[in-house]
Amino acid sequence: MKKSYKTKTRDYILEFLSAHKNKRFSAKEIYDFITCDNKNINLATIYRNLQTLQDEGVLLKHQAADNDYATYQYIENSNCLAHFHFECKKCGKVVHLGAKETNDFLKMIKTKMFFTVEPQNTYITGICNDCKGVFFEI
Ligand SMILES: [Zn+2]
Ligand SMILES: [Zn+2]
């Protein structure tokens, strides 16, 4: 009984995140969405499932340096661990950068600065083409 309950939470998380592949969400946002229909799931269960899914490579976890909470995004293919992502500050859209662009950048940083960058933890932020020219306040 306990096992099927756990599996259900996992299914809800995957269902939600896979339906919004271009965005990343905090555990609280995922919780708020899921508990709209299923009030008996608690936040700790969400966190546990997110950790498991991250360990399995199903979700990409992003911990911003200026944020005290992490966000999660569904990974369509394992390449997500090897390339950079661009996130639009206005619409929240996440774009997967190509392997070539990522590798060129990694190579440059390593050769010139001797840094080893982890692509899975690196988000480039800015304004996407769709949102360019649209006025907004941060
Ligand atoms: Zn990706
Ligand atoms: Zn945008």
From ligand 1's centre to the CA of 90, what distance in Å? 19
Give the pLDDT confidence score for residue 108 in this predicted structure: 92
Longest C-alpha distance within the chain, in Å? 56
| AA identity, residue 102 | T
Give the pLDDT confidence score for residue 135 in this predicted structure: 57
Gap between the Cα atoms of 37 and 39, Å rounded: 6
From ligand 1's centre to the CA of 94, what distance in Å? 8
Mean pLDDT across the chain: 83
Q: Hey, what domains does the chain have and what are their CATH numbers? A: 8-76 (1.10.10.10), 77-129 (3.30.1490.190)
From ligand 2's centre to the CA of 71, what distance in Å? 18
Concatenated DSSP letters of 34-59:
HTTT-TT--HHHHHHHHHHHHHTTSE
Quick check: 123 and 65 in contact, CB under 8 A? no
For residue 42, give both structure tokens: 């608690």
Closest ligand, as measured to the CA of 81: 1
From ligand 2's centre to the CA of 21, what distance in Å? 15
pTM, 2 dp: 0.67
What string of pLDDT tens digits covers the 138 residues of the chain?
A: 445 555 788 999 999 999 998 888 999 999 999 888 766 889 999 999 999 998 888 888 887 666 678 889 888 776 777 888 888 888 888 888 888 989 999 999 999 998 888 887 788 899 988 888 655 555
